[in-house]
Amino acid sequence: MSAQRKTAVVAIGGNSLILSKQHEDVASQWQAVQETCKNIATMIERDWNLIITHGNGPQVGFILRRNELAAHEVHATPLDLIGADTQGSIGYMIAQSLGNEFKQRGISRPIASVVTQVLVDREDPGFQDPTKGIGGFTTEEKAREFETDGWRVMEDAGRGWRRVIASPVPLKIVELEAIRTLVQSGYIVIGVGGGGIPVIEDESGNLVGTRAVIDKDRATSLLAQQLEVDLFLVSTAVPQVAINFNEPNQKWLGKMTADEARAYHAEGHFKPGSMGPKIEAVLSFLDAHPAGKVLITDPPNIARALDGESGTWIEA
């Protein structure tokens, strides 16, 4: 990495792209991305190198629904191409929003969005027992129709039926050296969107797309580990991490050691559907790169958190 600047991987969550169920349209997505990029630009203004990763779950769901509605008119889009499509569109939105913010602030930094493949093991157990829900909820009868196209379906906690796919462990970021070279050259890089496009090696060693979704926190952690960045910043919906979250005895945490975070996680403070995967991802980063630091906060508080006035810092 650059000797002059510190380098951070910044993982922006779904709330940075879609604020609520009432604001899922494209215009609202633009507005959410623009607000997030204002906060990220403040970090770049402080002379950081950044690699930005992002989620894409809702956008993938929208394209799957369009496939369903247009099935009688046009061919369906395979899931790996949907991943590539959403990486491109969201990367475009972030790059343009950041570039416009740079212009307003007089920042001169090039930006590049990299459509990123991530290698997984074709024998990963997740392929035999898929559990990651994808797409919208429907009735059992309609969900069963997806089975004719090779999907698995299941009932999801009383909310309806939906498709489920594998969420295999990420092993290698295919475009890692391209990302590294761009960062070393001073670029702000957007990559590994949505956890990356899952690919496997076939019998000949060639890469091919596979029907799966990689957890974006896991993939971002792998990127941060392999680049040995100074800071892994996880942008989420809350200004700090808390124990006993939403309980009368809730307690915000300004600092934690990795061991303390691991103990709190074992006690059940960080739920699987919210903070749990983020804590697992940052602990994996710190285990592999003990010299690094972790910061968890929401986008409006990034600057204050960097100054120690908000956010949760975690160190090995």
Total count of domains within the chain: 2
Could you give the CA distance from residue 37 to residue 94 in angstroms, rounded to a whole number? Answer: 7
Answer yes or no: do 297 and 202 share one domain: yes
Q: Are residues 39 and 150 in the same domain?
A: no
Mean pLDDT value of segment 210-231: 96
Among residues 13, 194, 278, 293, the one annotated as catalytic is 278
Range of the domain at 243: 7-120+171-315
Residues 111 and 179 in one domain: yes
For residues 46 and 135, state if they share a domain: no
Question: What does the angle CA 202 – CA 203 – CA 206 come to, to the nearest 5 degrees?
Answer: 45
Task: Specify whether 132 is catalytic.
Answer: yes
Residue 67 designated active-site: no
Residue 1 lies in a domain: no
The verdict on 106 and 26 lying in the same domain is yes
| CB 119, CB 199: distance < 8 Å | yes
Given 6, 15, 209, 276, which residue is catalytic? 15
Q: What is the pLDDT of residues 17-53, one digit of tens each?
A: 787 777 789 999 999 999 999 999 999 999 999 999 9
- pLDDT tens for each residue of 244-294: 998 999 999 999 999 999 999 999 999 887 899 999 999 999 999 999 999
Q: Are residues 254 and 307 in the same domain?
A: yes
What local confidence, expressed as pLDDT, does residue 264 receive?
96
The whole-angstrom separation of Cα 221 and Cα 204 is: 29
Active site residue 15: yes
Q: Are residues 136 and 249 in the same domain?
A: no
The active-site residue out of 14, 99, 136, 276 is 14
CATH number of the domain bearing residue 265: 3.40.1160.10
CA 227 – CA 179 distance, rounded (Å): 9
Closest CA to 270 of 294, 248, 238: 238
- Report if residue 126 sits inside a domain: no
Are residues 112 and 180 located together in one domain of the fold? yes
Per annotation, catalytic residue among 100, 132, 136, 209: 132
Confidence class of residue 1 from pLDDT cuts 50, 70 and 90? very low
**216 is known as an active-site residue:** yes
Instruction: Write down the catalytic residue from 216, 293, 301, 311.
Output: 216
Same domain, 208 and 225: yes
Sign of CA dihedral 86, 90, 92, 93: positive
User: Is pTM, for the whole model, over 0.75?
Assistant: yes
Same domain for 22 and 150?
no
pLDDT in tens, 164-216: 999 999 999 999 999 999 999 999 999 999 999 999 999 999 999 999 999 99
Tell whether the model's pLDDT for residue 15 goes beyond 70: no
- Given a contact cutoff of 8 angstroms between Cβ atoms, the answer to whether 283 and 258 are in contact is yes
Comparing 206 with 61, the larger pLDDT belongs to: 206
Residue 14: pLDDT band (50, 70, 90) is low
